[in-house]
Each structure stands twice: as C-alpha cells, then as structure tokens.
Amino acid sequence: MRLNKYLAKAGVASRRESDRLIQAATTFVNGQLILDPAYSVTEADEVVFDNQRIRLKTEIIVLMLHKPKNTITTLKDTHGRRTVIDLIPSKERLFPVGRLDKDTTGLILLTNDGELANYLMHPKNRVPRVYKVEIEGRLDNKSTQKIERGMYIGEGEFGRGKVLTQKTEKKRSVLTLELRQGKKREIRRMFHFLDTHIFSLKRTSYGPVLLGDLPLGHWRHLEPKEIDALKEKDPR
C-alpha cells in the first residue's frame, strides 16, 4: 500500500496530513528516509515515524470530546498551550478529526483511524457539521440568502452554509447553522464579512454524532454503531 495510507491506518494522522508529514522528512522505511507519500510498503516492512516504529491498527478507536475554550486542536503546541490531547488520558496514538479554533467550543472527534478521518474531512463527502452561533442582532433575509448561496470570505475562498433556525431575544440571536465544507474558521469569516459580531460558537454535531449532554471538558468512546454511522454516506 502507499506510505501515506500506511501512516493513516497506523493512526498517525489523516491521509492528507500524512502526505505533509512524510514530505517533512519524518518517516523511514527499512532504514531509508522516504519523502514520497506514494512509496509502496507492505506489513513486513519496518516503518519508523518520528523515531518510533509504527504498525497497522487492528482496533478502531473514535472518541468525542466536548472541547472547552482556550484549547488548541493539535497534537502538540510549540507555545505550551493546552491541547485537546491533554484532556484525554489515553495511551493510544490519537489525533483530532479537523479543527476548532481556540475560542470555539463543542464536539471534536479524535481517532486512530486515518482513513475514517480522511473520509469525514474531505469536502467531496459533504459530511454535515451543525453549530450553535450566538450573534449580535438578527440576520436578515438578505444575509441568510448570502450564506446559503455562498459568499466570499477572503483569501480567494467562498463560505457556504444553511441556517436551520434563528431565535431572537432582546438584542441577540441564537442560530443553528449547518456546514458541509469545513474551511478554516469558515463561520467566523462569513460573519466578519456580514459585519455581525459573534458572542459564542459551539459545534453540536458531526455527521450523525451528537454532542448531547456531554459536559464541557469531558470525553467518551463512541459506540460501534456510532462509528458505523459515521462511515455511512449521506444521500443528500
């Protein structure tokens, strides 16, 4: 199999992230430094990543974490800030599926299955993520239509989502917003271009998996049926 796929199946990272890691000179096969993600390997080969031999995973693990604010969605942070990995006392090599910025709370998935992570994050699969967004004022119909049609959010990119609900009390509104692209800081960038202040942002679901009443900062293993549901393609 391709080396990037091997790293993904070994729980190092998603296949896309494995491409970057291999090209950053982190991986040796049978003592030889390999920079080509497409390099062919077998289970009999000795694959060393970051000075540790890695092997293919036989058990798929997926966790869900209720991420608090001021927590970084990376494996390590060069500035010593708290990461999502710091909140999970697991001996398994796990990595987050996608990212939430440090000020966004809510559901983040972590897994040792790079193939599953790659499927969930790839834009072509359009896996829905639902967010609760508290804003100043209220979105008018024109702004809602901009979001649903797709709007420019800078850096040559367009953001797009679907406003599912909007409830207004006094001078604030709470929206539920569905995304299917997963661009970096997409919601914050859309509302910046709409000149609308966000008070809080929380992800409440990823595909069929719901955050539910999991307390802030806590985590749990997904049940096998939940993992199976994540793998099912959405017909929409």
Q: Which residues are marked as active site?
A: 101
Which of 103, 105, 99, 113 has its CA nearest to residue 182?
99
Rounded (5°) CA angle 120-28-82: 50
* Angstrom distance (rounded) from CA 138 to CA 236: 28
Q: What share of the chain is helix, strand, coil (3-state, %, to 5)?
A: 25, 30, 45
48 forms beta bridges with: 28, 53
**CB-count burial class (<10 Å; 0-12, 13-18, 19+) for 140:** exposed
* Angstrom distance (rounded) from CA 137 to CA 91: 46
